[in-house]
């Protein structure tokens, strides 16, 4: 209790407080030793808490009537010239019941809200661990949310606290932390800062003994501090193909799509898999896009060693590690998912492999341009490193003859310069030279550039490995945008 709260409570004519039927009341129990004999006590007994009600308006209707009636009782004392102190555990505006009296009375009577110490702050103090450090973000969630919603929010949280537990909600809350992959660093705190407080790892808590006034908290894990769950930061392994001594247990492999660029393109499921991984495996620039995690080992390899990288990931998992293999965009589109599954199939590996989708480059490019993939389309890579050019040319010709929009990956590199010109000419044999072509470079990155050019004017010289092309179909159209640029879309209806 703050000094200001103490002064106002002890000087008020009336002390009002919410209380559960048949219970002593937490707020009044805390304040009672400071009250004077002449002060009026106004208990406000909830009609329903976690039980059921026969009120015609249900639970919400019963509580609305309760707040109306008790607000009228408070108003009667105020009209009689008596100051009223309304007690609230924690902070009045932090999930506190007081807010419902405030909205009924504050516009009619002079009101002062005195902040208090929240349960989250109290829990952090008794744990002796900071909630957040540096640029971390704290997420506070009510345990009444559906478990799948909780898990989704927890996957993207640096640190988190879930309040409003009780026996009814605790099993779902624990399951959400487990699903999000953060249960191992999460603590349970009950009645923080009181003589009845209890602290335990989340896994050790008996769900049948969890009171409402409890919470679970996954505190800061920023590396390099004594408060981190693991005091070491991420380690870049000197030998990227090193395998640790087997633990005797079988690990797993998650093949994770990072999206085309930056954390805003990362899905919550991918975020959770990366956070839970013991080992991160992938092409160096892609691994560098993943936020550092304490104690995580990072294996950086070259861009042209997909098979070796896949076998190494499986070997790490067979030694007991939880491994995340990263790919840009979607892991299943010209990326590492097929390489890992092929290696697992060839070696008959016992390791479970999970493919976690990501936002693909073609989706990101299409969205930036408008909706060029709004009708039937196909996807082709122009790289002839793993398949001959005559196969690529035959597929482009077939797509052009079928009047499909075509998303083109890997159009060019420093050594591959002829493919874009040849692809353009193949399409010109079947498409109008005015057919829109999307030329997009570094979508989502700092040098993003998206242009719409006619097929007949496509200049291969502006295309490099960081560029993606989308060739429109015969029905693809351009349209002027309010900012003066061109957008493009392919109607969903095809002419008869």
> What percent of the chain stands above pLDDT 70?
97
Strands 353-356 and 252-257: parallel
Q: How confident is the model at residue 368 (pLDDT cuts 50, 70, 90)?
A: very high
Are 453 and 463 within 8 A, CB to CB?
Answer: no
- Integer Cα distance of 164 and 461 in angstroms: 60
The string of pLDDT tens digits covering residues 274-328 is 888 889 999 999 998 887 776 789 999 988 899 999 999 999 999 999 999 999 9
Work out the angle at residue 298's Cα, subtended by the Cα atoms of residues 237 and 330, and round it to the nearest 5 degrees. Answer: 145
More confident residue, 241 or 342: 342
Are 401 and 374 within 8 A, CB to CB?
Answer: no
- Fold (CATH) for 119-218: 3.30.950
- Integer Cα distance of 407 and 368 in angstroms: 14
Burial 447-460 (b: 16+ CB within 10 A, else e): eeebebbebeebee
Distance from the Cα of residue 87 to its chain's centroid: 36
Are 164 and 119 within 8 A, CB to CB?
Answer: no
Token representation of residue 476: 């693809």
- Integer Cα distance of 396 and 230 in angstroms: 52
Sign of the alpha-carbon torsion through 313, 314, 317, 319: negative
Residue 325, class by beta-carbon neighbours within 10 Å (0-12 exposed, 13-18 middle, 19+ buried)? buried
The pLDDT value given to residue 228 = 46
Are 338 and 453 within 8 A, CB to CB?
Answer: no
Q: Which of 320, 304, 323, 347 is nearest to 237 (CA)?
A: 323
- Fold (CATH) for 362-489: 3.30.950
The alpha-carbon radius of gyration of the chain (Å, integer) is 31
DSSP string, 342-395: HHHHHHT----EEEE----HHHHHHHHHEETTSSSEEEEE---SSS-HHHHHHH
Q: Residue 443, SS3? A: coil
Domain residue limits, the chain: 3-105, 119-218, 235-359, 362-489
Q: Which residues contact 16 (CB under 8 A, 6 or more apart)?
A: 42, 43, 44, 70, 73, 74, 84, 85, 86, 87
Which of the four CATH numbers 3.30.390.30, 3.90.79.10, 3.40.1010.10, 3.40.50.10420 does domain 235-359 have?
Answer: 3.40.1010.10
The pLDDT value given to residue 303 = 81
Q: Which residues contact 362 (CB under 8 A, 6 or more apart)?
A: 333, 373, 379, 407, 409, 468, 470
Strands 467-471 and 405-409: antiparallel
Q: Which of 426, 446, 437, 451 is nearest to 368 (CA)?
A: 451
Are 327 and 301 within 8 A, CB to CB?
Answer: no
Are 26 and 116 within 8 A, CB to CB?
Answer: no
- Integer Cα distance of 125 and 131 in angstroms: 9
Q: How confident is the model at residue 227 (pLDDT cuts 50, 70, 90)?
A: very low
Token representation of residue 107: 């516009």
Strands 14-19 and 198-201: unpaired
Q: Residue 225 pLDDT more than 50?
A: no
Q: Which CATH architecture has domain 3-105?
A: 3-Layer(aba) Sandwich (3.40)
The string of pLDDT tens digits covering residues 174-186 is 999 988 888 888 9
The pLDDT value given to residue 324 = 96
Q: Residue 160 pLDDT more than 80?
A: yes
Span 444-472, mean pLDDT?
Answer: 92
The pLDDT value given to residue 381 = 94
Instruction: Give whole-number Cα distances, 456 to 76, 435, 473, in Å.
Output: 82, 8, 14
More confident residue, 308 or 233: 308
pTM score above 0.95: no
Q: Residue 189 pLDDT more than 90?
A: yes
- Residue position matching structure tokens 């927890």: 154
How many separate helices (H) and strands (E) can be counted in the chain?
A: 14, 22
Instruction: Give whole-number Cα distances, 478 to 153, 439, 470, 488, in Å.
Output: 38, 14, 13, 4
Q: How confident is the model at residue 60 (pLDDT cuts 50, 70, 90)?
A: confident
What does residue 305 show for φ and ψ, rounded to 5 degrees? -130, 45
- Integer Cα distance of 138 and 143 in angstroms: 16
Q: Do the domains 235-359 and 119-218 match in fold?
A: no
Q: Residue 182, SS3? A: coil
What does residue 413 show for φ and ψ, rounded to 5 degrees? -145, -170
């Amino acid at each position: 209790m703050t000094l200001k709260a103490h002064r106002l409570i002890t000087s008020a004519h009336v002390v009002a407080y919410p209380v559960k039927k048949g219970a002593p009341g937490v707020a009044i129990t805390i304040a009672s030793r400071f009250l004077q004999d002449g002060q009026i006590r106004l208990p406000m007994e909830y009609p329903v808490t976690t039980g059921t009600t026969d009120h015609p308006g249900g639970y919400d209707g019963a509580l609305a009537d309760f707040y109306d009636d008790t607000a009228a009782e408070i108003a009667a004392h105020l009209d009689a010239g008596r100051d009223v102190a309304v007690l609230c555990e924690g902070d009045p505006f932090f999930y506190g019941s007081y807010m419902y009296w405030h909205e009924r009375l504050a516009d009619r009577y002079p009101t002062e809200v005195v902040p208090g110490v929240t349960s989250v702050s109290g829990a952090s103090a008794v744990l002796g661990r900071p909630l957040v450090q540096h640029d971390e973000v704290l997420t506070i969630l009510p345990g009444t949310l559906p478990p799948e919603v909780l898990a989704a929010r927890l996957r993207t949280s640096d640190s988190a606290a879930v309040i409003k537990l009780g026996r009814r909600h605790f099993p779902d809350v624990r399951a959400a932390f487990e699903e999000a992959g953060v249960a191992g660093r999460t603590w349970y705190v009950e009645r923080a800062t009181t003589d009845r407080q209890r602290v335990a790892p989340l896994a050790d808590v008996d769900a049948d003994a969890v009171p409402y006034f409890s919470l679970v908290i996954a505190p800061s894990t920023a590396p390099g501090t004594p408060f981190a769950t693991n005091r070491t930061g991420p380690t870049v392994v000197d030998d990227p193909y090193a395998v640790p001594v087997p633990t005797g247990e079988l690990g797993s492999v998650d093949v994770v799509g990072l999206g085309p660029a930056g954390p805003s393109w990362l899905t919550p499921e991918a975020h959770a898999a990366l956070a839970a991984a013991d080992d991160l495996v992938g092409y160096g620039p892609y691994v560098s896009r993943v936020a550092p995690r304490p104690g995580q080992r990072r294996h950086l390899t070259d861009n042209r060693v997909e098979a070796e990288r896949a076998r190494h990931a499986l070997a790490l998992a067979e030694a007991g590690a939880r491994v995340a293999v990263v790919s840009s965009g979607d892991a299943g589109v010209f990326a590492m998912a097929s390489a890992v599954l092929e290696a697992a199939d060839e070696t008959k590996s016992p390791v479970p492999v999970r493919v976690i989708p990501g936002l693909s480059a073609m989706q990101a490019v299409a969205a930036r341009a408008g909706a060029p993939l709004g009708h039937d389309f196909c996807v082709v890579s122009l790289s002839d490193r793993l398949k001959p050019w005559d196969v690529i040319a035959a597929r482009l010709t077939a797509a052009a003859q079928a009047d499909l929009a075509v998303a083109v990956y890997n159009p060019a590199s420093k050594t591959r310069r002829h493919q874009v010109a040849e692809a353009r000419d193949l399409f010109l044999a079947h498409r109008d030279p005015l057919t829109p072509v999307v030329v997009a470079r570094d979508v989502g990155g700092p040098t993003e550039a998206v242009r719409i050019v006619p097929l007949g004017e496509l200049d291969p010289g502006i295309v490099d490995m960081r560029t993606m092309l989308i060739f429109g179909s015969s029905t693809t159209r351009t349209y002027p945008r309010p900012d003066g640029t061109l957008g493009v879309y392919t109607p969903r209806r095809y002419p008869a």
